[in-house]
Chain A
Amino acid sequence: MAALTLRIDGQAVAVPAGSSLLAATRLAGLALPVLCHLDGLTPVGACRLCLVAIEGQSKLQPACTSEALEGQVVATNTAELRELRRMAVELFFAEGNHVCAYCVASGACELQAMAVTLGMDHSRFPYQYPLRDVDASHPLFSLDANRCILCSRCVRVCAELEGAHVWDIAGRGRHCRLVAGLDQPWGEVDACTSCGQCVEACPTGALFHKDDSTAEKHPHPIRALQLRRVHDLPPRPDP
């Protein structure tokens, strides 16, 4: 298999050709913050947290959708990028209704973890307190749109892995919202197989098991690893 080398944050790293910059960064042993990316799903580059600076390019590029190229010099953790990421997380918190203290996902929430990692202890931007709905019509799961960050992981996992395409995003701009079926109550959507993968994929407490209460949502113990092994890294040669 063809390999290529590039330099990320000063360290040289060799990666299989065709790897994304995100995969390359991880191979270099570095962490990049992501919210919309989930190993195994088509990357969309929507959360803008994995933006990196590539030498010779004036625009920052999302690592999840950019292909690693031979000889690239990439910076993933500059002061500018840290500040931009912090502002992004502030915007995430300000645009929805994220109340960690009451949230089913507290302690297992990727948005919460991101805030901690990036040192975001409060938002400088005023909270928008949008009026959003809760859909508890499904027998097993619920959707609390207040906590949705529109990462579209559920949309992709349902369409790409389960093949049911129950979820989609409706509306535009700040009026974007997650809809089930043809904008129906989730419980009425025949296409839903109740597989629960959307709940697993959700980075926050927007999609959750009904029997979970505050801080009781936990990530599936091995699902993420399985997905990564299958899809994200180029296949390893058989021994």
Chain B
Amino acid sequence: MATVGALPRPREPAGELAQGSPVTPGRQLRCCTASGCRAGGAGPLIEALRQAQAVADPAANGLVIKSVGCLRLCSRGPLLAWDGPGGPALFALGSTDPGTAPGAAIGPEQARALVLAAATAPGPDTLAALDLEAWRPQALLPEGSPSPGPSPVGVASAPPPSPGGIGLTWDQMDLDHPFFALQQPLVLLHCGWIDPDSIEEALALGTYGQWRRCRSDLSPEAVRAMVHRSGLRGRGGAGYPTGLKWDTVALQPPGPRFVVCNADEGDPGAFMDRSVLEGDPHRLLEGLAIAAFAVGAESGFLYVRAEYPLAIERLRRALKQAHQKGILGPGTGLELELRVGAGAYVCGEETALLQSIQGQRGQPRPRPPYPAQSGLWGAPTLINNVETLAVVPAILRRGAEWFAAIGTDTSKGTKVFSLSGAVRRTGLVEVPMGTSLRTVVETMGGGVPAAPGSPGGGVKAVQTGGPSGGCIPAHLLDTPVDYESLQALGSAMGSGGMVVVGEAMAMPELARHFMHFSVEESCGKCLPCRAGTVQLEQLLDRLLAGLAEPGELDQLEQLCRMVKATSLCGLGQAAPNPVLSALRHFRAEFLAACRAESPRAAFAREPFPAGPALGPLPGGRP
């Protein structure tokens, strides 16, 4: 398998790679500058490396230092991938002080040593042996220490590290570890390889090739048929067949149409779409352009949440570059526009998102009519999630049958998951549909470290689908990850957030956390979501304060069902899921949190008689 771990080497048809690939130009240091590694100081780090290269030996001139998107293992960031003899290899910069971003702590001498080592090391092992501590900044060294020598990888001539200050660690990551080796990148094919700010690199890897092919060789019907045959389903959570959606839009009566990319990724613990936006924005633009071609739209929007400033910046640049190159924009039959959200989670719901694009209050409206029939300004509108669109070019390039061969009977292709929570290895994984949760969480993610003193430790549950999903207990970890299997367990695939819960977490507490999220993010249009979630959170508060009686669990469940059955949009309908699934799989914990039932409560628990049959209302309006 030609993976290079987190950095699966792009597997393109030879023809496209042959025309000058930026992937293997010799020696290269790829620095992840996506949001995760940025938090670890990737910004100052790449700056320091570039400055070091400018003042370093001419030997370092052959090294290319470039900024790339996500290198997958976010928990160890900032990450640096090295291409060279015997490479690629992946390295993580760390610091001995958990409060310090390692990338910001690197000194000029250390950066110089790193650059020289990367430029001259005969193999990854030599680079891995680099001792950054030996190049600790002068200010922190004891008085009178000799200045560090020019030897980039040697430790012999280096001064002893000082006891104070922040120490840096430099570790090589094992790319044969399942976390990297089991990944199968389709959506993230180029993510981590190309500079997201360079359209040339994207073009060299064949991006926009399928968009050109569409316009020159393919008919919209043929494109839709391919997507249909591929079995692709929406990656935003609901899993609606993408081909069917495209057909529905295309077959509306003649007139203007719109395409919209939903990049309002708001689920806590979900960062797949962000990684695509930050790592390979051109692939998304190509997917959106193909979708527009397939349904006959001449204009489209990308709706990105405001909390993703880097994604917005890179997408904006990508759009500008594509315009300058004449790939999109005037004369190409497609105008794309970027719209930035204003902080409302509910705007990830398609009808609310469309309202927001139109400049109105971001509130969902009842469906039907679906956006495919009546969307932006009443015109048929295709709205797809980032990951759905980003995989479309690959389907066109490799064929529908190739895509349909990956995954399970009902869920085709791969899915990107963002693995977070108590798990050992936090980051981004792309695996074929149908991979078991155990593989993702334990084999790849490394499970949960056992708490001190507890024999078993490990994973207690996995929360999938964020505030719309639910938790899956550890004993069901062998469940394959596909739309139907997760739904059958009372959870949902959702957009791909996977939060691993350790033994230390109380499930009622987790349920309350998500309910609080829904309370805060309810738009307030419909009653059950606006008022029902508030009551649900208060019931959970009572429970966690030890004030609830066992009978109140019934009330909790009843209200959950009411909110689920009667809310207007998906947010309200799914808001009770975390509570219901926790009750289903961890009821004992809820019961243990209750106090004993009083006789008064037993009496109050008597069911109310149902109201009389409805007649004309007395008083009021007719």
Contact = CB atoms under 8 A, between A and B. Distances in A.
Contact of A31 (B534, B535, B565, B614): B614
Given A48-B527, A79-B610, A117 B615 contact: yes
A107 B617 CA distance: 12
B359 to A, nearest CB: 13
A88 B558 CA distance: 12
A62 B527 CA distance: 13
Given A33-B617, A117-B615, A173 B535 contact: no
A47 interface: yes
B533 to A, nearest CB: 8
B11 interface: no
Q: Chain B's interface: helix, strand, loop or mixed, by majority?
A: loop
Given A31-B616, A46-B526, A225-B622, A62 B562 contact: no
B108 to A, nearest CB: 48
B171 to A, nearest CB: 45
A168 B360 CA distance: 11
Nearest to A45: B366
Contacts of B528: 48, 88, 91
Chain A CB within 10 Å, residue with most, of B519, B555, B617:
B617
Interface string A26-50: 0000111100000000001111100
A119 B527 contact: no
Interface size class of B (residues with CB under 8 A): 35 or more
A12 interface: no
Given A65-B366, A119-B610, A126-B538, A173 B524 contact: yes
Contact of A77 (B344, B555, B613): B613
B534 A128 contact: yes
A61 B520 CA distance: 25
Q: For chain A, give the interface size range.
A: 35 or more
Contact of A173 (B530, B568, B614): B530
A108 B620 contact: yes
B531 interface: yes
B618 interface: yes
Given A46-B525, A65-B366, A124-B555, A174 B617 contact: no
Contacts of B616: 31
B553 interface: no
A48 B620 contact: no
Interface in B518-575: 519-535, 538, 555, 558-559, 562, 565-568, 573
A231 interface: no
Contacts of B368: 66-67
B365 interface: yes
17 contacts: A30-B614, A31-B614, A31-B615, A45-B365, A46-B527, A60-B565, A82-B611, A84-B562, A91-B527, A91-B535, A109-B619, A118-B611, A120-B611, A173-B519, A174-B524, A219-B621, A224-B622
Interface of A: 30-33, 44-48, 51, 59-62, 65-67, 76-77, 79, 82-88, 91-92, 94-95, 107-110, 112-114, 116-120, 124-126, 128, 149-150, 168-169, 171-176, 203, 219, 224-225
